[in-house]
Amino acid sequence: MSTDDKRVREFAYQIWESEGKPEGQEARHWEMARKLAEAEALAPKKSPKAAGSKTAAKPAAAKAANGKVPEPKAKAKPAAASKVIPPGEKAAEKKPKAARKPPAV
């Protein structure tokens, strides 16, 4: 049995299990598995550099000049993510902020 045949068999078994092991679906499972194996074989192989190497993680774990490990920066949320408007409701119109007067001395 070739490597391709083994891969098709593995895919067919995974499909069969994922669908709850139904009876009478063998032909459909084998066809789906064959297509998956073909797509997998045609997909470009990732080189070790493209997949990311262990040396790429070293700068993130490196100590700063003062000997402390830098803390990761927090990601800012987009402004629109702060307020979610349910469907069917209109967004409240924002009023422009008034300029403040300088304090009296």
Q: Is residue 53 part of a domain?
A: no
Show the domain range for 27. Answer: 1-44
**Average pLDDT for residues 75-92, to the nearest whole number?**
61
Which tens digits make up the pLDDT trace of 66-79?
A: 666 666 666 665 55
With respect to residue 84, please indicate whether it lies within any of the assigned structural domains. no
Q: Which two tokens stand for residue 51?
A: 């997949």
Q: Check if the beta carbon of residue 36 is closer than 8 Å to that of residue 11.
A: yes
| Residue type at 101 in one-letter notation | K
Alpha helices in 1-105 (DSSP H): 3-18, 26-42, 48-51, 58-61
Could you give the number of structural domains in the chain? Answer: 1
Please, which residues have CB within 8 angstroms of residue 91's CB and are 6 or more apart in sequence?
85
Q: CA–CA separation, 11 vs 25, rounded Å?
A: 14
- Let me know if residue 31 belongs to a domain: yes
- The structure's pTM equals 0.43
**Residue of 91 and 16 predicted with greater confidence:** 16
